[in-house]
Amino acid sequence: MGAGLYFGEFAIALGSSRFDWRDLAGRVALLLVSYAAFMVLQRFVNRVAVLRRASLSINLFVLSLLILLLLSPQLGELHVAILPGVIVAAIFLAITIALQFLDVVVFTWSARWQRTAPVPIVIRDIGRWLLGVLALVLLVRGFFPGANLNVLAVSSLVVGYVVGNATQDTLGNLIAGVALNAERPFHIGDWVTVSGHTGVVVDTTWRATRLRTRMEDYIAIPNSSIAKEPILNYSRPTPCHGCTLEVGVSYEAPPNKVRTTLFAVLAGLSQVRKAPEPRVYLRTFGDSAMTFVIKFFIDDYEDLDVIQSLVMDRVWYAFKREGIVIPFPIRDVRLRDGRTDEAQQAADELAAKRQLLEGVDLLRSLSPDEMGRLAAAVSSEPFAVGESLVRQGEPGDTFYVVRSGRVVALAVQSDGSEVPVAHLGSGAFFGEMALLTGEPRSATIRAETDAVVLAVSKAQFAGLLLGNPGLAKRLAEVIETRHADRRAKVDAKVVADAVSAAREPVLDRIRRFFGLA
């Protein structure tokens, strides 16, 4: 009955001589201009995220307000139900906007202030929609007391069925989204692999779960796909994550030496967890190499790439120092001439070492013979930036001369922090204190850039001390100066401990330690 009658009433109203067409045209024009002005304004307002989320509701609300303001008399004349209908729409939209603001304040902001996980979007949306429907029913009842809500409910069911059939996938995603939120196999901020994609969970909406990948891209995976597939969560039950790396090593290297070197590398990296303990396995005897598998644990999956690369870097440097070769199946064709000859290379290397040692003030008193023997005996060891060459408190019997790069000497304060006491570049030496007195290392030496050092063993040094009586005296002076310098830079408690530990003059300690007269 209704529709036919309404059209009839419209037609009568529009056709009646009472209807002022010019007034209506003016009002409609004003409405369009005002609405256009609002749309321009809304482009700026939408920069605020909260307002952007509610932008459709705000837009419709403003439109309904403009209609009420400018067209009320005409609408009233058209049909009695239109004006209340627009009022109901305006109030409903106002409630929708208010609910959206409330949602942001209660769930997003308060979660941020209290540092708790935000309530999932799907749950919040369901709550908001239920409240919205309730408000709509109450409004319809209030403004249209005679309206039959059963008709509304039945027609909603029919519409729901039709829409539901047409949007089966969407409903599947919605239900999967609710199930995911109830089961919670992951939380926002977790690192996961789902449907073959790895990333950090950004959010779960009605349709999909969004991940931010390592390439800083977003990928939205439909909730129904996630519900069907295994989910690998790297952040739970704890963020601790195990990684494995493989490294091929020449058959010349004894496996135990390789294992010790790899363990030392892992122990020297603060990013590698001490527990669970790192493991090293010899996996295969291949065509040209033995393959070792390194297994270690890190604190956070997010840092995986960086830490794996760091471990590989350090393995390269450590292998180089230990003379462990990583074979590579590359056909290396070289045209040899006099300069690239191996003997010539060795001679160049020896000359370079000798030149460096001759530049060290402390060693000036060495005879040419002694200098030659020393240059031939020292080994050249590369270190990566950030690596510790010696550690404070550890025993040590090697003396070092910096060949290239720069290192820093760090003293540990009483609160455990490290303070730099000296920066040492090419030609500077360190490690003399522990070597000459037998005491633990007085500082940690760390590479500030990639660095290469010449290492002199205790036996080599003992020979030099015996042949050069003045050397021990000069070294004792250096040690006294460095001790004083170090004392000036560390806190009072460390100074007090050092003073009480070292009562004997340095020169006497050196002589006693090396059995010198």
Interacting residues with ligand CMP (CB under 6 A)? 390, 396, 409, 421-422, 430-435, 441-443, 445, 482, 485-486
Nearer to ligand CMP, 273 or 458 (CB): 458
Beta carbon of residue 331, minimum distance to ligand CMP (angstroms, whole number):
45
Q: What are phi and psi of 383, to 5 degrees?
A: -135, 145
Nearer to ligand CMP, 275 or 484 (CB): 484
Say if CB 290 and CB 284 are below 8 A apart.
Answer: yes
Closest CA to 262 of 285, 294, 220, 228: 294
3-state SS class at 129: helix
Query: What span, in angstroms and rounded, lies between the C-alpha atoms of 255 and 291?
Result: 10
Beta carbon of residue 398, minimum distance to ligand CMP (angstroms, whole number):
9
Burial of residue 383 (CB within 10 Å: 0-12, 13-18, 19+) is buried
- Sheet with 279-285, strands from edge to edge, namely 241-249, 290-298, 279-285
Helix or strand (DSSP H, E) at 501: helix 492-501
Amino acid at 108: T
Query: What span, in angstroms and rounded, lies between the C-alpha atoms of 327 and 231?
Result: 38
Residue 290: strand pairing partners: 249, 285
Nearer to ligand CMP, 269 or 443 (CB): 443
Beta carbon of residue 478, minimum distance to ligand CMP (angstroms, whole number):
8
Nearer to ligand CMP, 122 or 434 (CB): 434
Say if CB 467 and CB 493 are below 8 A apart.
Answer: no
Query: What span, in angstroms and rounded, lies between the C-alpha atoms of 50 and 353?
Result: 68
Beta carbon of residue 345, minimum distance to ligand CMP (angstroms, whole number):
31
Tokens representing 184 are 């919670």
Nearer to ligand CMP, 255 or 395 (CB): 395
Say if CB 437 and CB 489 are below 8 A apart.
Answer: no
Nearer to ligand CMP, 314 or 441 (CB): 441
Nearer to ligand CMP, 174 or 409 (CB): 409
Nearer to ligand CMP, 405 or 431 (CB): 431
Beta carbon of residue 383, minimum distance to ligand CMP (angstroms, whole number):
14
The residue assigned the tokens 């002199």 is 456
The backbone region for 50, taken as left when phi is positive above 0, alpha when psi lies in -120 to 50, beta otherwise, is alpha
Nearer to ligand CMP, 307 or 453 (CB): 453
Nearer to ligand CMP, 434 or 447 (CB): 434
The residue assigned the tokens 């949007």 is 167
Beta carbon of residue 320, minimum distance to ligand CMP (angstroms, whole number):
22
Q: What are phi and psi of 166, to 5 degrees?
A: -70, -25
Residue 137: strand pairing partners: none
Say if CB 357 and CB 460 are below 8 A apart.
Answer: no
Query: What span, in angstroms and rounded, lies between the C-alpha atoms of 456 and 403?
Result: 12
Q: What is the CA radius of gyration of the chain?
A: 40
Beta carbon of residue 365, minimum distance to ligand CMP (angstroms, whole number):
19
Residues 6+ apart with CB under 8 A from 4: none
Beta carbon of residue 463, minimum distance to ligand CMP (angstroms, whole number):
19
Say if CB 249 and CB 328 are below 8 A apart.
Answer: no
Nearer to ligand CMP, 83 or 443 (CB): 443
Beta carbon of residue 505, minimum distance to ligand CMP (angstroms, whole number):
17
Beta carbon of residue 357, minimum distance to ligand CMP (angstroms, whole number):
16
Beta carbon of residue 508, minimum distance to ligand CMP (angstroms, whole number):
17
